[in-house]
Amino acid sequence: MRDMTKGKISTSLISFAIPLFLGSVFQQLYNVVDSIVVGQFVGKEAMAAVGVSFPIMFLLIALVMGATMGSTVLISQYYGAKDWKNLKRTIDTTVWLLFWTVVVVTIAGVLFGGWILRAMHTPGDIFFMAHNYTRIMFLGMIALFGYNGLSAVLRGMGDSKTPLYLLILSTFVNIILDLVFVLVFHWGVEGVAVATVLAQGVSFVVGWIILSKKSELFRFKLSEMHFDREILLKSLAIGMPSGIQQVMVAIGSMVLVGLVNRFGTDAIAAFTAAGRIESFAMMPAMNISMAISTFVGQNIGAGREDRVKEGVGVAFVLGNSIAVVMSLLIVFFAAPLVMVFNRDPAVVRIGQEYMWIVAPFYVAFMTMFVYNGALRGAGDTFIPMIITILSLWGLRIPVSVFFSRFWGTNGIWWGIPVAWLFGMLASWVYFTTGRWKRKVVAKAHALPPEALEAVAAIECEDSERKECLHT
């Protein structure tokens, strides 16, 4: 576990963010490999089917994030405050919350997956492939929720390496199974879905086994697990705005995909390819956002507000340096990158136009994520939710719908940077007001970090446990 309340700020953020970034690379390889395999070996229709299904899968991930965001913030603040009792209770409560969320989501997905695809105006030539893909993914929800829940707990405690190792394992399993199920068994889109579920399941099970042997925090016995209603309510109070935000983003993505669907299979395939490329460009922003969130949470919990603004400044400079490089690379190599997924001329042309319009605005996206990450780390998730919803539903969707009438698919793409620019400005303005300081949950006011460490050491010595939970 990493204590980010001391030491050089840039070193802490970079050391924490690098494993997150590498982990995100492997996480995105799930979707990228799926799209490459079906796009090159099955056809653009199969790739479009996977692409149409992605917003639904994103909705599921949004639900996981909503269920665990509050827990991650509480864990990071309790960890920073060295409150081991509430830390363990928060982890136990998170497990119960995720279990019941999995049950509800699986049942709802199996029952209503087809209806959602029809509501998105999915073309008939790809509907059944997309339906089969989503049904298999819904049935494998326990693997998706299990891994992401485990990762959220570890990130809150400053551990970004273990999720990386688990992702590397599951990614290689996914790639091997993709090739076997599609090229050998000829299962098509269904084979890709089965491969993804099995790979995530392997990651979750192996991770749980390893961690249960390393720390008492992950030794779950039903008779010893504590469901804490007060912690659940705190977690939901913090995480619900973020969860609502993510769900609204996911629903907005469905609306946009429905708009793209009206332009046919070529547009869907191009949008899918461009989205897979862009996912890599967006990863640094998401990882730095998670890093600064944990950094802010731990330092506020430890009473080190003096490090918070400096940490945000370091994240801003680091993140936007990366964003500029990403923008230049994607603008200059847009066409070759799209051709990795499918070589159909119409698909390549539409995908290239997307990248040329959107990529120059990655700085706005990065800035928005840095400030939103800092706000979430402080426990202030309501304002980021409002900003995101306004950006998406107040600007991106209306602008995309309006301009698509005149510029076709290019009009859809222009709604993206418009929304990012608004989100960037609004997040920065709110952060500078300092109102987020009122949302802190756990904070050690009286003692400096050195004294807190001494107290924690004494508590560990007096404990009858065989190991100190924070080692």
Residue 184 or residue 455, greater confidence: 184
Given this model, what pLDDT does residue 350 score? Answer: 95
450 pLDDT tier (thresholds 50, 70, 90) = very low
* Stretch among 54-58, 122-126, 390-394, 447-451 having the lowest mean pLDDT: 447-451
Given this model, what pLDDT does residue 200 score? Answer: 87
464 pLDDT tier (thresholds 50, 70, 90) = very low
* Stretch among 41-55, 57-71, 144-158, 442-456 having the lowest mean pLDDT: 442-456
CA distance 28 to 277: 9
Given this model, what pLDDT does residue 220 score? Answer: 61
- CA angle at residue 139 from 136 to 144, to 5 degrees? 100
**Mean pLDDT, rounded, for 271-282:** 86
Asked if 326 and 469 touch (Cβ cutoff 8 Å), the reply is no
Given this model, what pLDDT does residue 459 score? Answer: 35
Q: Is the dihedral of CA 349, 350, 353, 355 positive or negative?
A: negative
Given this model, what pLDDT does residue 221 score? Answer: 65
Residue 444 has pLDDT above 60, yes or no: no
DSSP-assigned letter for residue 197: H
Residue 431 has pLDDT above 80, yes or no: yes
> What count of other Cβ atoms lies within 10 Å of the Cβ of residue 461?
8
**Measuring CA to CA, how many Å separate 318 from each of 49, 282, 299, 362?**
37, 14, 20, 13
Given this model, what pLDDT does residue 427 score? Answer: 92
**Mean pLDDT, rounded, for 98-121:** 86
Given this model, what pLDDT does residue 458 score? Answer: 35
- CA angle at residue 290 from 468 to 225, to 5 degrees? 40
CA distance 89 to 75: 10
Residue 393 or residue 219, greater confidence: 393
Given this model, what pLDDT does residue 469 score? Answer: 34
> At a CB cut-off of 8 Å and minimum separation 6, what does 222 contact?
none
**Measuring CA to CA, how many Å separate 461 from each of 422, 456, 469?**
52, 9, 12
Helix (H, G, I), strand (E, B) or coil at 443: coil
Residue with structure tokens 């190792």?
A: 165
**Mean pLDDT, rounded, for 22-27:** 73
Question: Which two tokens mark 346?
Answer: 């119409």
- Could you read off the pLDDT of 338-375 as tens digits, one per residue? 998 888 899 999 999 999 999 999 999 999 999 988 88
- Could you read off the pLDDT of 302-327 as tens digits, one per residue? 777 778 888 888 899 988 999 999 99
Q: Which of 286, 256, 260, 284 is nearest to 351 (CA)?
A: 260
Asked if 415 and 400 touch (Cβ cutoff 8 Å), the reply is yes
Question: Which two tokens mark 209?
Answer: 């086994």
Residue 266 or residue 156, greater confidence: 266
